[in-house]
Every structure is written in C-alpha cells, then in structure tokens.
Amino acid sequence: MTSPTLTFAAPPTLAFRLGPRTVAAARAAALAVGGALLTAAAAQLTIHVPWTPVPITGQTFAVLLVSAALGMRLGVASQALYVVLGAVGLPFYAGAEGGWTAATGSTAGYLVGFVVAAAIVGRLAERRQDRSLLTSLPAFAFGSAVIYACGAAWLAHSLDVSAEKAIELGVTPFLIGDALKIAVVGVGLPIAWRLAGDRR
C-alpha cells in the first residue's frame, strides 16, 4: 500500500507550464527554496552608492522573475524565506550581510517590499499579465513601484528624514537600473511563454 502524496495546485505560471494541474508539495517547496537562493545570489551583485545607505543590487530583478514564474503563493513563500534566512544570520542580503540588525536596518522596507511585490506580481502572472509585452511591462513596473514605496517609507522613518529626502536616497538613484531590469523581465517572459508553446 503506497502512502498518499501531498500535492500543490499548480498555478498557471511559467514554472508549471509543462506540468500537470497538481504537483508534489516537495517540488513546490523546492521551487520556493530555489527562488530564495536566486534572490540571495542576485543580492551579491552589489554596487554601493556613496550618498545613500541603499546599494544597487540585482535583487529586484530576481524578485520580479521569481514571482512571475512561481505565482503568488510560491512567490511570497520564496521571498519570505529569503528574508527569514537572512534575518537568522545567513549572508543572503546585499554584500553578504545577514542577521537581525541587517534585517531591521535602514533597508528593511525593501525586504518587506519584496514580499508584497511578490504577491502582486505573482497574482498578475496568474492572470496572464506576463505573457504579452503590453501587459508585462506595466505589471513589473507596478511591482517595482511597490518595492520603492515600502523601501522609501521605512527609510524616511529609520533615518528620520522627509519623504522627499527618502525618495532622493532610496528611489531616484535606482530608476535607470530598475527600468532596465523591468525591460529585461518584461520582454523576456513573453518570449519564454512563446518558446514554451503559449501564443495567446
């Protein structure tokens, strides 16, 4: 007699394009862990800007890609896992930092933003918004805006500065780089869907 296998309802996202309607829970968990590790790896692509405590990293690219590929629930799980693993001390944050101090420091709002953006971008991907250039670019831009909003709000609180100053420190230096990330993911996902056989 075989024991029952726990299953996960596969969302209509790219990571599950070629699979059945349900997948083993172990596979779903592995994808969430993989998403967290990809975000941690992207965090090590770091450029420090002298006038702001917020570094330029590859994290936002990873958040958008992972969330769109995995969908809302697994996307949130992957980013929450990333935040937790960094908070307990693993060198997962930008510049190989980790620990509670790093998790609650001036860039903590961005970490929260990753989780919130994962829910939004993942849900939009489940609604097929990542399959066309006309819808993918706004979806990923919205996800990035959510990260900015959370990050700048906490930055203003943490540094005790005005909203205008927080935007100057935590948003403006990253607009060009994030526009490029949005373009790469926004163009790449529809192409990937077409290569996977979805042409609608």
pTM of this structure? 0.92
3-class secondary structure, 22: strand
Q: Comparing 22-31, 64-73, 94-103, 109-118, which segment has the lowest mean pLDDT?
A: 22-31
pLDDT at residue 5, as a whole number: 66
Q: For 93-152, what is each residue's pLDDT tens digit?
A: 999 999 999 999 999 999 999 999 999 999 999 999 999 999 999 999 999 999 999 999
* Distance of alpha carbon 187 from alpha carbon 192, whole angstroms: 9
In a domain, 20, yes or no: no
Residue 14 domain flag = no
Q: Is residue 66 part of a domain?
A: yes
Does 1 score more than 50 pLDDT? no
Q: Could you list the residue range(s) of the whole structural domain that residue 75 is in? A: 29-195
CATH code (residue 147): 1.10.1760.20
> Is 22 a domain residue?
no
Instruction: Name, in order, each residue with C-beta under 8 angstroms of 153's C-beta and a sequence gap of 6 or more.
Output: 109, 166
- Which residues does residue 8 pair with via DSSP β-bridges, in sequence order? 23
Distance between CA atoms of residues 105 and 96, nearest Å: 15
Q: Dihedral angle at the C-alpha atoms of 80, 33, 177, 198, nearest 10 degrees?
A: -110
9 located within any domain:
no
In a domain, 5, yes or no: no
Domains: count for the chain: 1
**Is residue 64 within 8 Å of 117, Cβ to Cβ?**
yes
pLDDT of residue 3: 46
pLDDT at 78 over 80: yes
**Is 141 domain-assigned?**
yes
The token pair at 9 is: 């309802």
Q: In this structure, is residue 11 part of a structural domain?
A: no
C-alpha angle 174-176-180 in degrees, rounded to nearest 5: 110
Comparing 4-13, 17-26, 62-71, which segment has the lowest mean pLDDT?
Answer: 17-26
